Homo-oligomer: A and B are copies of this chain.
Amino acid sequence: MFPLFIPTGSTSAQPKGMKNMPKSKFELIYKDLKRKIEDQQYPYQELLPSENTMVTIYNCSRNTIRRAVSQLIEQGYVQSLHGKGVRVIYQPVDQTSFTIGGIESFKESATRNHRKYHTEVVQFTIITSDQRISGKTGFPVGEELYYIQRIRYLEDKALILDINMFLKNCVPGLTREIAETSIYEYIENELNMSIVTSKRRMTVERATEIDEKYLELNDYNCLAVISSQTYNADGIMFEYTQSRHRPDYFCFQDTATRKH
């Protein structure tokens, strides 16, 4: 039993073609601190070195340290205590967990967790956005869209039914073959388009006949549904996706902060 983990916020996922170059200083420091926290060199409930200490350690300005730390705060790794220091609140998740990340693709997630997977394309057509589709997805009326239905298998178990819609003129040349491997890889490497922001909504919906046809639901009568709108680097929403997850293999993680 290894549920699918879906953490929130920014992911460190990188397109396959790119080298893993963090370029910026604050990102290097962020990754170093993150790793040290995960390795428990900075253990749970301990304080990080003070900002001024880290300034000398990393040979940079205090602002750069603060920027790196603020990312750790966002991710729920640490919590800052005014006048006291920055406390580690990260705790490792259990081994059997399988993590699906931010805007990470199914393929990337499966690979990262060393799991066998494959994808079956059950529908691949082109449709035109009408009033009903527009209201549901957020695409303008009259746009041509790729409409794709895929079953995602992990260790030969059908876990996810993906319904994708892509703006046709943003993703030209998409084929059924590409949909079988990785659409994101095609978009980022072939089309050289970068994906930036994704707005997601999680609900629980009653299983439809299609769900029951393709997924083994084991008399669950509902599914975890993630609907997402994805924007490219030009700020254009080019994708709407509905991922319908088998409930027993689904988990979504999140960190919230309260303003005082």
| Chain A positions near chain B (C-beta within 8 angstroms) | 3, 6, 8-15, 18, 45, 74, 76, 79, 81, 87, 89, 91, 102-103, 138, 194-206, 219-224, 231, 233-235, 237, 245, 247-248, 250-260
Contacts and interface: CB of A to CB of B under 8 A. Distances in A.
Given A79-B197, A221-B220, A231-B79, A102 B256 contact: yes
A194 B260 contact: yes
B103 A235 contact: no
7 tightest Cβ-Cβ pairs between the two chains A and B: A87-B235, A204-B247, A102-B256, A202-B252, A200-B254, A103-B258, A10-B257
Contacts of A6: 202
Contact of A256 (B8, B45, B220, B251): B8
Given A103-B256, A254-B254, 4 more contacts: A11-B258, A81-B234, A202-B202, A204-B222
A202 B8 CA distance: 11
A9 B89 CA distance: 17
A258 B222 contact: no
A235 B197 contact: no
B203 A250 contact: yes
A74 B74 contact: yes
Given A74-B74, A194-B260, A196-B257, A235 B8 contact: no
A203 B252 contact: yes
A199 B254 contact: yes
A11 B253 contact: no
B13 A256 contact: no
Contact of A10 (B138, B198, B235, B258): B258
23 contacts: A3-B203, A6-B202, A9-B74, A9-B257, A11-B258, A18-B260, A45-B235, A79-B235, A81-B233, A81-B234, A91-B138, A196-B257, A198-B258, A199-B253, A202-B252, A202-B254, A203-B247, A203-B252, A204-B220, A204-B222, A204-B245, A205-B247, A220-B222
